[in-house]
Chains A and B, each alone.
Chain A
Amino acid sequence: MEYEAVIGIETHVELATDSKMFCGCPAHFGADPNTNVCPVCLGLPGALPVPNEKAIEWIVMIGLALECEIAHRSQFHRKNYFYADQPKNYQISQFDVPVCSAGMLEIEADGRSTRVRINRVHMEEDTGKMIHIGGGGRIKDADHSLLDFNRSGIPLVEIVTEPDLATPQQARAYAQEVQATVLALGVSDAKLEEGSMRFDANVSLRPKGTGRLGTKVEVKNMNSFRSLERALTYEIERQTAALEAGEQIYLETRHWDESAGVTGGMRSKEESSDYRYFPEPDLVPIEITDTRRDAIRQGLPELPAARRSRFASLGLDPASVAVLMSGGLELAGIFEGACEAGADPKTIANWVTGEVTAFLRRESVQLGETPLTAEHLFELERLCAAGDLSSTAAKQVLVGVLAGEGSPAIVARARDLIQISDAGALATQIDQVLADHPEEYQRLRDGDAKIIGYLVGQVMQITAGRADPKVVSSILAEKARG
C-alpha cells in the first residue's frame, strides 16, 4: 500500500523584547547563569506577573502577518505540570482563546505553492534552561541537573499549523518562511542555534488518497532547517516500515538524534487535559479593539512574499532572490541599501550572493560582524562603472573591504588594483611588450588581428592585471591598421 504523510508544525518564537513577559528582568541571551532573574521569573510564591505590552503588540503583528483573526478578548491560562524548569509548577500560556487564530501562510516547495493554514498563535512564557550532569547529558542517566532561569519568562509565541504539509521539503519551506516573516517584522532574532526559534513536528501516515488521519507522532529537538527535513524524512520511513510490517504506530513523542540520524521514543504523549488548564487568576483579560488591531496592521513592514516578488521585478534570477532572502534581513538589507543609493541591482546581487556569501561562510561570520556597508557596495559599483576597476579587481577589493582593509577606494589603491585606462599611461607597457615579442609584433604589423588577444594578455601580465583590456586592445588594433 502507498502511504502519504500528514505533517503539522509547532513553532516557538522567543520575542526580542528588552524585558521579560511578566517581569522587568532583561530578556537577552548569553548572560551568566541566573543573573537575569527576580521573584516573578523564579516562580517564588506570592510574586505577581504583569504582562509586557510590547509582547502583546508583537504577537498581534505576527498574527496579522499570518492573516489570522485577532481575538477581541483573550486571556491567559495556567498549564500545570511538574518539572524543574518551571518552579511554580505551571507555565502561563493560553488555552481556549488565543490572541490569534485561523490564519494562513503561503509557501513555495516541491515546485508549487501551498497554502498552510495556521490554527492558532498564542502567547506564553519560556521556561528555565536545564543542563543534565553525568550519564552523557541524558535525562534518565543524569546524576543531577543544573538550572539557569535567565530564559524563564522570556516572551514566547507559539504558532501552530493545521496538518496541511505533505513532505519534509514543504515542512522546511514553511519553517523558513516563518523565520523570514518574524525577521521581517523585527520581533525576534529567530536563531535556531540559540533556541530563539524552535520547531516541533507532528507526523502521521495514511493510505494515499484517504481523508482520515493516522496516529500522530511528535518529533522534537531539530535545531536546524536541515535537521527538521532529515528528521521528518526518517520518521516517515520509520512509520512506513512499521505499517508495512503490520505494526501499530503509538501516540508518542520522539527525540531527533542529529548525529545518529534517527528518532527515539521519549514518553507516551500526555493528553492536553492532563495539564489541567484553568484561567490565570493573577492576570486580567487582554482586549484588542478593531481600532488597535488596524493601527498595528498599518504599521506592518513589507513581508517576505512581497519583498521576494519586488526583488524578482528588479531582474534578479530566482536563485539570487532565494540567497538574498535566506540570509535573514542582513543580505537583503545591504542589497537594498546599495540599490537605493543608485547602484545596478544585478551587479550588487552578484556580489552579495557570490563573494560576500562565500566570505561569510569561509570565515564563519555574520554580515553584521564585517565592516561592509551598503555605501561600500555603491562606491565599488561606481568605481567599476567609471572604469577604474575591472570586474575581477572589484571582487578582490570586495574581499579586502570585508576583511577590514578600508573603503573600496582605499583597498583598490593599497592593493594596487586601480585600472589603467589612460592610453598615454599604457603606451610604455605596450611598447615594452612589443619589444619583447618581435615575432608577434611583426604579425600585428602584417595585419593579423588574431594576435591581438595574445598581446593584450601579455600587457595584462606585466601590469599585474591593472590595464584596461579594452583600451589596450584598441591601441593594438590601431597599430595593426598601421
Chain B
Amino acid sequence: MAFRVRSGPIYNRRMAIDIDIAYVARLARIELSEEELERIGRQLGGILEHAALVQELPTDGIEPTSHPLPMVNSFRPDQVIPPIERETALSQAPESEEGYFRVPPTLEAE
C-alpha cells in the first residue's frame, strides 16, 4: 500500500515524543490524505499532551496496571463446548470454497 504523502515527525511540546503519523497509518493499513495526516497528527498530539498530565503524577512504588479491575486468574476449565456449524461460520464470509474461507491473494507489503 503506497502513501503519496509522508508527513514529518510531530513533536509534542511537553513530551517531545516523536510520532511518524504516516508510518503509524501504514502499520494500521489506514490510507490518509495529506489533509488527514495533518489533522490526525494534531489530534494525536492533543491526546499525548493529555497523557503527559498523567505521566506527571508521582507513581513511584505503584505496580503498572494493565486492567482496570482488581482481579486475576479468570480462567475456564479445559472442557469442549460444541463448535458452531460450518455453514454458519462460512455464512459471514464474502467467499467460500469447499468448506474453506476463500480470500484474495496476499500481496507483499512494500
Contact = CB atoms under 8 A, between A and B. Distances in A.
Given A38-B83, A276-B27, A51 B89 contact: no
A53 interface: yes
Interface string A424-438: 000000000000000
Interface string A124-148: 0000000110000001101111111
A279 B77 contact: no
B102 interface: yes
A142 B102 CA distance: 12
Interface in A34-54: 34-39, 42, 44, 50-54
B72 interface: yes
A51 B72 CA distance: 11
Interface in A265-285: 267, 274, 276, 279-281, 283-285
Interface string A7-23: 00000000001110001
A39 B90 CA distance: 11
Contacts of B69: 284
A145 B103 contact: yes
Contact of B102 (A35, A52, A144): A144
Given A56-B75, A284-B72, A33 B100 contact: yes
Interface string B66-110: 110101111111111101101001101000011111111110110
A26 interface: yes
Contacts of B105: 132, 139, 142-145
Nearest to B77: A53
Per CB-CB distance, the 6 closest pairs between chain A and chain B, nearest first, are A24-B81, A279-B66, A146-B100, A54-B78, A53-B75, A287-B72
18 contacts: A18-B80, A19-B78, A24-B79, A25-B81, A33-B100, A37-B83, A51-B74, A52-B76, A53-B77, A139-B105, A144-B104, A145-B103, A146-B101, A280-B66, A281-B67, A283-B74, A285-B66, A285-B67
Given A50-B74, A50-B75, A51-B75, A147 B80 contact: no
Contact of A145 (B89, B102, B109): B102
B29 interface: yes
**Interface size bracket, A side:** 35 or more
B110 to A, nearest CB: 11
Contacts of A75: 66-67
Contact of A140 (B92, B103, B108): B108
B76 A53 contact: yes
Given A33-B86, A53-B76, A131-B100, 16 more contacts: A17-B78, A19-B80, A34-B86, A34-B89, A34-B90, A52-B75, A53-B75, A80-B27, A82-B29, A140-B108, A146-B103, A148-B100, A148-B101, A279-B66, A284-B72, A286-B72
Interface in A62-120: 73, 75, 80, 82-84
A148 B103 CA distance: 11
A149 interface: yes
A331 interface: no
B56 to A, nearest CB: 22
A55 B108 contact: no
Contacts of A139: 105-106
A267 B73 contact: no
A117 B98 CA distance: 46
B79 A284 contact: no
B101 A34 contact: yes
A34 B99 contact: yes
A35 B73 contact: no
Contacts of A279: 66-67
**Interface size bracket, B side:** 20 to 34
Nearest to A145: B103
Interface string B18-55: 00000000010100000000000000000000000000
A23 B109 CA distance: 32
Contacts, number: 127
Contacts of A19: 78-81
A19 B77 CA distance: 9
Given A42-B89, A146-B100, A84 B106 contact: yes
A333 to B, nearest CB: 24
Nearest to B26: A274
Contact of A52 (B78, B84, B104): B78
Contacts of A369: none
A32 interface: yes
A73 B109 CA distance: 37
A284 B71 contact: yes
Contacts of B74: 50-51, 283-284
A18 B78 contact: yes
B108 A267 contact: yes
Nearest to A82: B29
A139 B102 CA distance: 14
A26 B78 CA distance: 10
Contacts of A32: 86, 99
Contacts of A146: 97-98, 100-103
A287 B73 contact: yes
Nearest to A28: B80
B83 A36 contact: yes
Contacts of A143: 105
Contacts of A149: 89, 101
A39 B84 CA distance: 8
Contacts of A37: 83-84, 86, 89
Nearest to A77: B66
